[in-house]
Amino acid sequence: MESIKEYLKKHFYVGAALLIGIVTAFLAVINPFYALDAYLTDKLYTKLTGTDSDIIIIGVDEETLAEYGNFNLWSREKSAELLEYLHEDETNCPAVVGLDFMFIDSYDEEVDARLAKAAALYDGQVVLGTNVVYRGALETDEKGKMYYNTEKITDIETAYPELTKESAHGYTNVGIAKDGCVRYTSNVIRVPDELKDSEKGLADDYHDSFALAVCRKAYEAEHGDVMPDSAIPVTDKSGQYQFFFSGKEGEFQHVSMKAVLAGEVPHEAFRDKIVLVGAYAPGFQDSYRAAIDRDSSMYGVEIHANIVQAIMSHKTMVPIARMILALITAVIVIAFLIFAKKKKLSVILITSALLAVIYIFAGRLAAQGKFSSGTKAGLFMPCVYILLFLILADIYFVIEKYVLERIRRKATLDVFKKYVAPEVVDNLSKTGNFELHLGGEKRNVAVLFVDIRGFTPLSEGLPPEKVVAILNEYLKLTTTSILNHKGTLDKFIGDATMAVFNAPFDQEDYIYQAVAAAWDIKAGSRELGERLYKEFGKQVGFGVGVNCGEAVVGNIGCDFRMDYTAIGDTVNTAARLESNAKAEQILISEDVYQALQGRIQATPVGEIPLKGKSNKIMVYSVDSIEGEVASDEV
């Protein structure tokens, strides 16, 4: 039965993927990185489609102010004159005129009357600006708990009654998002009961925005009917929606109010157009940072022009439902993590890049209303959280599959140098031209066993630390000789050593290298043996056995403890040869002798029985080998 520890280890990654998916989905829903997400979506989802030629801005610009002076001293008179001029040629009248100004209270009876009379010429097709005043106030919620309402509407400033009767109106307040940019707006506000006033045009429950009021009048002029609810932008629960900008600062068709009043702009230029009149000079302090271009400011009348075009062309969007957003985010995150678990790094990076592109492309389609059902509004999907997740996931997998793998590989190679010749390991590290097989494989190998003769009598009369020191000197000699001939140090067995040649890597002339290593051990043991005899009066030496043939080599053991070793009859025979060798003797099998004929000198020992084998085998004692085989390091 699977233990709890094994179960947790097996399912930890899936659990972690689920947790990361839930956390990412939660972040996407609450949107704590609003400013960053807004910046990305402004760049990725929005696209300028060009301004509508049916919308014209008449700007009170610096040229106009230079001509007429202080705006407050002439605004009503010149506004009346402008409306009169635009209506002089009835066949070329605008469809609607929106005055992005507030004519609050009476100013001059004669001038006020003239402006009201000029507005009456348009049969209600003039839209005036109003201002909604928000002041915080203490209120009581449904549970009787006191709270401070920062969105409390305390006043709605409208035009003087005579002008209000002849015009439509809408609030011109510009909504600024948390990052300081304009990208959201609303259709209406609810008029508090205490502020309802028919003389101020606030008899209804709701009060339109300036842009929506202009659009209603434009629709009526074109279709001769009331604008249907289906043409009004869909909003979120807070009553807001995000609109797409059609043009940047200065891109809407605009003319100077001075030029119009001077008759320099023909009436035909305004025929059936939506004419918006507003501040177009820095002195009015009516400019804002638009989401489409954060490097410059946009006048309020230009923002209203963008909203009007967005309403009329259905270029608006609302946030996608939270549960759907959470589900989409969680599925993407969890699926990617599970998919990437056992994939190559290159596949992970390519997949994450494709996923990011697909998500952004889907986000753009959603913003354009391609996935909307029953409405013409687009759906806004935050993208920063998916993109951040993919970036962090890529970094994690790069570290896990590349950096950590390189660290693990280096550590493995450093340890491996203790078993295999360092120059072989260094070469493999540079080329990467090797593959270690888990489990076993059959290979033709040469196996060397070496043991100390006379070590037990020597150690009986010595202190433990001296015994260990002597043993370490012998093992250093055997290890150095083996590694100098590219052998793999398999294991130490007490005072014996086992080595394998031609495993785990292919090795040239491996049988000769095994015998050469044995010869180096024999040569090095003489000096050490003589020194120990003089010091302790005990004679010691090495007995070596070498065999070659097929063996099973590989990682043998269990998942928490394994050794790289060789097993089989070839190994057993080498061990039996070593146990029959006398001090200073190297015994080799018939197979080794035949493989090295002409390269070594060996004396036939004859056929001898070996423990565990039913048949005797022919054994040879090595007398010399060709070439310079004694190592300078020994």
Question: Residue 506: which of 486, 481, 489, 484 has the closest Cα?
Answer: 486
Phi, psi (deg, nearest 5) at residue 390: -65, -40
Q: Are residues 446 and 557 in the same domain?
A: yes
Domain that holds residue 492: 428-625
Classify residue 75: in a domain, yes or no.
Answer: yes
Q: Are residues 436 and 295 in the same domain?
A: no
Classify residue 171: in a domain, yes or no.
Answer: yes
Domain boundary among 251, 282, 313: 313
Q: Say what the pLDDT of residue 561 is.
A: 65
pLDDT at 633 exceeding the cut of 60: no
The helix (H) or strand (E) run that includes residue 534 is helix 510-536
Q: Are residues 12 and 160 in the same domain?
A: no
Classify residue 339: in a domain, yes or no.
Answer: yes
CB 603, CB 596: distance < 8 Å:
no
Classify residue 346: in a domain, yes or no.
Answer: yes
Per-residue pLDDT, averaged over 329-341, amounts to 94
Question: Residue 450: which of 550, 574, 616 has the closest Cα?
Answer: 574
Q: How many domains does the chain divide into?
A: 3
Q: Are residues 366 and 227 in the same domain?
A: no
Q: Are residues 608 and 500 in the same domain?
A: yes
pLDDT at 381 exceeding the cut of 80: yes
- Terminal-residue alpha carbon distance, the chain: 54
Tokens representing 183?
Answer: 């990208």
Q: Are residues 532 and 573 in the same domain?
A: yes
pTM: 0.69
Classify residue 630: in a domain, yes or no.
Answer: no
Q: Tens digits of per-residue pLDDT, 455-488? A: 777 777 778 888 887 888 888 889 999 999 999 8
User: E strands within 36-102?
Assistant: 55-60, 96-99
Average pLDDT, the chain: 88
Cβ-based neighbour number of residue 564 at 10 Å: 19
Per-residue pLDDT, averaged over 226-250, amounts to 94
Tokens representing 169?
Answer: 């109106």
Half-sphere exposure of 127 (CA within 13 A, CB side): 30
CB 310, CB 316: distance < 8 Å:
yes
CB 151, CB 194: distance < 8 Å:
no
Domain boundary among 379, 397, 415: 397
Q: Are residues 363 and 303 in the same domain?
A: no
Q: Quote the DSSP letter at residue 187.
A: S
Q: Are residues 455 and 567 in the same domain?
A: yes
Q: Are residues 391 and 535 in the same domain?
A: no
Q: Are residues 285 and 329 in the same domain?
A: no
The answer to which of 33-37, 40-44, 422-426 has the lowest mean pLDDT is: 422-426
Classify residue 404: in a domain, yes or no.
Answer: no
Q: How far apart are CA 530 and CA 522, in angstroms?
A: 13
pLDDT at 188 exceeding the cut of 90: yes
Classify residue 631: in a domain, yes or no.
Answer: no
Phi, psi (deg, nearest 5) at residue 167: -140, 165
Classify residue 576: in a domain, yes or no.
Answer: yes
Q: Are residues 259 and 177 in the same domain?
A: yes
b (16+ CB within 10 A) / e for 179-209? bebbbbbbbbbebeeeeeeeebbbeeeebbb
pLDDT at 426 exceeding the cut of 80: no
Say which residue, 12 or 134, is predicted with more confidence.
134
Phi, psi (deg, nearest 5) at residue 197: -160, 115
Tokens representing 279?
Answer: 């501040």
Residue 612: strand, helix, or coil: coil
CB 163, CB 129: distance < 8 Å:
no
Pairing of β 146-149 and β 55-60 = unpaired
Q: Quote the DSSP letter at residue 250.
A: T
Q: Tens digits of per-residue pLDDT, 198-228? A: 889 999 999 999 999 999 999 999 999 999 9
CATH number for the domain including 438? 3.30.70.1230
Q: Are residues 19 and 160 in the same domain?
A: no
Domain boundary among 313, 339, 365: 313
